[in-house]
Amino acid sequence: MTAGPASALSSSACRTIYGNAPNHGLIDNLPPDSVVEVPCLTDALGVQPTRVGALPPQCAVLNRAHDPEAVRATVRRAGHDLLGLPH
């Protein structure tokens, strides 16, 4: 049985998981105010996102194609639906 990410936080063991983090220099060719999924190291110090560098241009274009306002509206509506609030 292998130890999970939570046990790595309380020991000297280091594990790699994939998580979402603010893009503060993690992926060069995506907007700095976006949230990106990157490899993260987990150990007794916590969770540290790993810098990826630049994505292949084709991948970056696909990721930048999402309209941030449309995404925000979708998340807002989903939140209202979950909480039973009017739109």
Q: Can you tell me the mean pLDDT for 55-69?
A: 83
Residue 5: pLDDT band (50, 70, 90) is low
Contacts of 58 (CB under 8 A, 6+ apart): none
Q: What is the pLDDT of residues 40-54, one digit of tens each?
A: 999 999 999 999 999
Phi, psi of 17 (to 5 degrees): -125, 170
Measure Cα distances from 42 to 21, 54, 73, 81 in Å: 14, 23, 32, 34
pLDDT averaged over the chain? 82
Q: What is the pLDDT of residue 82?
A: 65
